[in-house]
Structure 1
Amino acid sequence: MSSIVVFILFVICLIIAIPVSISLGIVAVLPGAFDSSFTASASYVIRSMLGGIDGFPLLAVPMFVLAGILMAHGQISKKLFDVFSYFLGKRTAGIPCAVIITCLFYGAISGSAPATVAAVGSMTIPLLVEMGYEKDFSTAIVAVAGGLGVIIPPSIPFIMYAMASGESVSDLFLAGIVPGLMIGALLIFYAYYHCKKYGEDKEKINAKIDELHEKGFLRVLKDSFFALLSPVIVLGCIYTGVASPTEAAVISVFYALIVSLFIYKTIKIRELWGILREAMQTYAPILFILAASTAFSRVLTLMQVPQMVSAWILAHVTNKIILILVVNIFLLIVGMVMDTTPAILILSPILLPIVESIGMNPIHFGVMMIVNLAVGFVTPPIGVNLFVASSLTKVPVMDIAKKAMPMVGYFLLALLLIAFIPAISLFLL
C-alpha cells in the first residue's frame, strides 16, 4: 500500500468524523494488513502504541493537566487578575492588559491553551463586560491570549515535541520564554490601540478598581502572593536543577493542592474526586492520540515517508527563505484542521529532517512549530479556544473569530520574526 493511499484514507476517516486516535490506529494497521511482507504487522503496531506511552517525560503531561484543573477550581486565576488589575486598571487598556498578563502567568502554571481560556475567561469575561467592554471583544482577547498557554513554559505541546524529536524538554521550555513574552507584548499593544480608538467606560472601570484599591496594596499582594509564586516555584525547580520537568509537574500538583485546600480554602476535600475525574477525562483522549500517533509515525518511517517528502520538497524548493515560508504555511493549515498533539507527533518526524537540511536548529523549529499550531487554537474550523470561549459566553464562534483576526495578525507577525530570527528562540540557551 502506497503512502499516498494511507494519507487519503486518514483524511477520509477524519471527514466522516471517526475520532483522531481511532483513525490513526486504522491507518497504522492497514499497510501490514494488505502486505504480509511489510514489517509493521498488527502486533508491531500494538507494541509501538504501548511503547509510545511508556516514557518518564510523558508523566509530566497528566500532572500539568491535574495542576491546571486544581488551580482553576482553586480560583488561582482570580488572584492573579486582581494583583495585575490593581496596578494597571486605571491606565488606558489596563483591564484587557491585565487579562493578557494573567493568561501569561496562568499559562506558566497549566501548560494548556484551552485550560487557560477556561480558567481565566470564566472569571474575567463577565468582569470586562460589566466594565463596559464589548462582549465579543472580551471573549476574543481571552481566546487569543489563551494561546500563550502552549508557548510560555511549562507547555504540554513542547513535551510532545520533545517526545517526537528527542530534544531536551528543559531546553524547549527555555526557548519558549522570549517568544511567549514577545507575543504577549504585541497583544498588549493591540489592546492599547483598540481601547484608544474605541474608548473605554472610565466611570465603570474606576468604580471597580477603587473597590480593589480600598483593600490596600498589602492585602491584595497577600491574597495573590501564593498565586504569583506558583510559576516561580515550578520553573525555578526546573532551571535550578532541583527537579526535572516531570518532577516539577508533580511538585506543581502538590503546590496547587496545598494552596487551594489550606491557604485559600477554595477547594473542599469532598471535591477532590470530581477534580481527579475531570483530569482523567481530559488526559485520556490525549493518551490514546499519543499512543496511536507514535505507532503511525513508526509505520511512516518504515514506509520511508519522511525521506520521500524531504527529497520532494528539497528538489522543488531550493531557496531557504521560500522553504521556511512553505513549512510555516503548511503548519498553519494543519493547525486549522488538526489538534495540536497528533499534528506534532505525526509531522515532527517528517518536517524535522527537511529543516535540519537547511541548518535550522531543532529547538528553533520546535518553537516555530508550536507557535504555528497555537494560531490554530483561534482559527476555524477546529479552533479549540474559540469553542471553549464560546461555551463560556454563548457568543457565536464565527463572531469571536472575526473579532480575533487583528490579534491573530499580530500572532503571525511574531511568527515571522521567530521563523527568521533564530536568536529570539535560542537567546536563553
Structure 2
Amino acid sequence: MTALVFICFFLCLIFAVPIAMCMGYATILPTLIDPSFSGNLEFVVRSMIKGVDVISILAVPLFMLSGAIMATGGLSKRLFDVFAVFIGRLPGGMPCAVVVTCLFYGAISGSGPATCAAVGTMCIPLLIELGYDRVFSSALVATAAGLGVIIPPSIPYIAYGLVTDTSVGDLFTAGILPGCLIAIWLMVYAVLYCRRHGEDRKKIEANYDRLKSRGVFGVIKDGFWALLTPVIILGGIYSGIVTPTEAACVSVFYAIFVCLFVYKTVKLRDLPGFFKSAVKSYAPLGMSLCLARAFVQILALLKAPQGLSAFLSGAVDNKYIFLIVLNLILFFLGMVIDVGPANTILAPMLLPFAVSMGINPVHLGIILTCNLAIGFVTPPFGVNLFVAAPMIQSDAMTVGRKALPLIGFYAIALIMITYIPAISLCLL
C-alpha cells in the first residue's frame, strides 16, 4: 500500500498536478482501495485541521506580508547601495554586493522567489549596465536568492518545526552561519568569474563615484532602517523578547511604519492590496501544509517511517554514507518538489533514523533546507529561474546552465554544512 501511495504522488507530479493536490490524492488513496482502513476521510479531515491548528503557523503569512510591503517599499535598493559603497570598487565587488544583498533581504522576506524578484528587479539591470554578462547576472541573483530560505526567518524552517516538533527558534539560530557560508562561496565564484572574464572598470568607477558623492554616511543613513530590519526581527527572537510568531507580527508593523512614514514609498491606500496579495500567496502554501500533515499521518498508519528506517538500516550502517545518500536524494527531489512541501513530507520519515544515527534534529533540518534550496535553480522546475529569466528576456534553461558553476560552489558549502555539525549548532 505504501508503494501505491508514493506511485500516486509521483505520477501526479509528473502530470504537473499542483503539489497540494498530489498529497491530497495520495492521502485518500488507501481508504479508496480499502474502506476498512483506519485512515478514512474523517481521519484525514481531522489531521488537516490539526495540522494548521497551531499558533506558529501564523508566522508564515505574516512574514509573507511584511516581505511584500518591504519589496514594494524599495528596501532592497537601499541595502544594495550600502554594500556597494563598501565593496563595489573591489574586483568582483558589485556581484558580491548582490550576494550580500540577497543574504540580508532573505532575513526580511523568508522566501527564495520573493528575494529573487525584489533583488533581481533592481540589481540585474544595474549589473548589465555596468558591463556584466546578462545571463551571468540573472543566474547569480537566482542562485543567491536561495539564501532567502536558509537565512532566518525562513518559511521552510517553520514548516520543518511544525511537523517534527523542533524549536523554530533553534532552527532560526542554526541557519545563520550556514547561510553566511553559502554566501561566501558564491562570492568566491563571483570574484573568480570577474577575474577570468574581466570587468568594465570605467563604468564601475563611475557608479562608485556616483554613490560616493552622496557620502558614505548619507548612504548608510538612507539604508539604516532597512539594515535595522533583521536586527529587530532576529534580535527580538534570540533575546527571548518575542517568539518567532510574534516576531512575524512585529515585522509587519515595522514594514508598514518604515515604508509608510520613513521612506514614504508606500501609501495607506496600498495596504489592502498587500493584505489581499499575502492571502493569495499563503492560500496554496497553507493548503500544502495541512495536506502534508494528513499525508504524514497516513504514512504513519502505513508504518512507512518504520519501513524506511528498516530499509536504511539494512542498506546503510554508517552515518557519513547515509548523509551522502541523503544529499543525493534531496538534490534530485529538489528538482521537482519545492523546499517547503518537501520538508513537511520527508522530515517526519527521515527523523527517526537520522536520530538513531546520531544526527541532531536541528542539524537535519538545516541539511534538508540547504540542499532543497538548490532546487530553486535546478531545471526543470527551478522557481527562481522562472523569476529571473524574464528579467533578461531569456528562458529558464539558459539561465540554469549558467548557474551550474554557482551550484558547484554552493555544493562545497553544503558538504561543509553536512559534515561539520558545529557550523549549524555552535550558536545554540
TM bracket, shorter-chain basis: over 0.9
Q: Equivalents in 1 of 2:315, 2:88: separation in Å? A: 53
Q: In 1, are the aligned partners of 2:8 and 2:25 still within 8 Å (CA)?
A: no
In the alignment, which residue of structure 2 is the partner of 1:285? 284
Q: Equivalents in 2 of 1:10, 1:211: separation in Å? A: 54
Letter in 1 for 2:181: M
In the alignment, which residue of structure 2 is the partner of 1:135? 134
1:34-93 per-residue CA deviation (whole Å, 9 max, x = no partner) reads: 223211110110111111111111110001101110100000000100111111111111
User: Which secondary structure does the structure 2 equivalent of 1:153 belong to?
Assistant: coil
2:24 is aligned with 1:25: yes
Letter in 2 for 1:416: I
User: Which secondary structure does the structure 1 equivalent of 2:377 belong to?
Assistant: coil
Q: Equivalents in 2 of 1:369, 1:72: separation in Å? A: 27
Q: Equivalents in 2 of 1:19, 1:238: separation in Å? A: 34
Q: In 2, are the aligned partners of 1:108 and 1:149 still within 8 Å (CA)?
A: yes
Q: In 1, are the aligned partners of 2:386 and 2:396 still within 8 Å (CA)?
A: yes
Aligned 1:255-294 pairs, distance under 5 A: 255-294=254-293
Aligned 1:19-58 pairs, distance under 5 A: 19-58=18-57
In the alignment, which residue of structure 1 is the partner of 2:211? 212
TM-score by length of 2: 0.98
After TM superposition, give the deviation of residue 300 of structure 1 in Å: 0.2
After TM superposition, give the deviation of residue 320 of structure 1 in Å: 2.3
Letter in 2 for 1:359: G
User: Which secondary structure does the structure 2 equivalent of 1:381 belong to?
Assistant: coil
After TM superposition, give the deviation of residue 417 of structure 1 in Å: 1.0
Q: Equivalents in 2 of 1:248, 1:394: separation in Å? A: 38
2:149 is aligned with 1:150: yes
1:149-169 per-residue CA deviation (whole Å, 9 max, x = no partner) reads: 111111111111101111100
Letter in 1 for 2:328: I
2:393 is aligned with 1:394: yes
User: Which secondary structure does the structure 1 equivalent of 2:379 belong to?
Assistant: coil
After TM superposition, give the deviation of residue 175 of structure 1 in Å: 0.5
After TM superposition, give the deviation of residue 355 of structure 1 in Å: 1.1
In the alignment, which residue of structure 2 is the partner of 1:101? 100
Aligned 1:78-227 pairs, distance under 5 A: 78-227=77-226
Q: In 1, are the aligned partners of 2:380 and 2:397 still within 8 Å (CA)?
A: no
After TM superposition, give the deviation of residue 17 of structure 1 in Å: 2.2
Q: Equivalents in 2 of 1:120, 1:147: separation in Å? A: 12
After TM superposition, give the deviation of residue 26 of structure 1 in Å: 1.5
Where has structure 1 moved over 6 Å in runs of 4 or more?
none
Letter in 2 for 1:417: M
Q: Equivalents in 2 of 1:224, 1:8: separation in Å? A: 50
In the alignment, which residue of structure 1 is the partner of 2:241? 242
Q: Equivalents in 2 of 1:366, 1:154: separation in Å? A: 14
Q: Equivalents in 1 of 2:17, 2:369: separation in Å? A: 25
In the alignment, which residue of structure 1 is the partner of 2:360? 361
Q: Equivalents in 2 of 1:31, 1:379: separation in Å? A: 33
After TM superposition, give the deviation of residue 33 of structure 1 in Å: 2.5
Q: In 1, are the aligned partners of 2:102 and 2:144 still within 8 Å (CA)?
A: yes
1:125-163 per-residue CA deviation (whole Å, 9 max, x = no partner) reads: 000000100100100110010011111111111111101
Which stretch shifts more, 8-17 or 284-293?
8-17
Letter in 2 for 1:306: P
User: Which secondary structure does the structure 2 equivalent of 1:36 belong to?
Assistant: coil
User: Which secondary structure does the structure 2 equivalent of 1:267 belong to?
Assistant: coil
In the alignment, which residue of structure 1 is the partner of 2:332? 333
Q: Equivalents in 2 of 1:393, 1:66: separation in Å? A: 27
Letter in 1 for 2:212: H
In the alignment, which residue of structure 2 is the partner of 1:407? 406
Q: In 1, are the aligned partners of 2:80 and 2:97 still within 8 Å (CA)?
A: yes
Which stretch shifts more, 9-18 or 309-318?
9-18
Q: In 2, are the aligned partners of 1:147 and 1:374 still within 8 Å (CA)?
A: yes
After TM superposition, give the deviation of residue 241 of structure 1 in Å: 0.7
* Unmatched runs of 5 consecutive residues or more in structure 2: none
After TM superposition, give the deviation of residue 317 of structure 1 in Å: 1.6
Aligned 1:289-300 pairs, distance under 5 A: 289-300=288-299
In the alignment, which residue of structure 2 is the partner of 1:323? 322
Q: RMSD value over aligned CA atoms?
A: 1.0
Count of residues in correspondence between the two structures = 428
Letter in 1 for 2:107: A
Q: Equivalents in 2 of 1:244, 1:291: separation in Å? A: 22
1:217-254 per-residue CA deviation (whole Å, 9 max, x = no partner) reads: 22211111100001000001001111000000110111
In the alignment, which residue of structure 2 is the partner of 1:347? 346
Q: Equivalents in 2 of 1:205, 1:89: separation in Å? A: 8
Q: Equivalents in 1 of 2:128, 2:41: separation in Å? A: 54
Q: In 2, are the aligned partners of 1:33 and 1:42 still within 8 Å (CA)?
A: no
Which stretch shifts more, 47-56 or 69-78?
47-56
Letter in 2 for 1:133: Y
Q: Equivalents in 1 of 2:342, 2:165: separation in Å? A: 16
After TM superposition, give the deviation of residue 400 of structure 1 in Å: 0.8
TM-score by length of 1: 0.98
After TM superposition, give the deviation of residue 393 of structure 1 in Å: 2.4
In the alignment, which residue of structure 1 is the partner of 2:251? 252
**Identity of matched residues, %:** 51
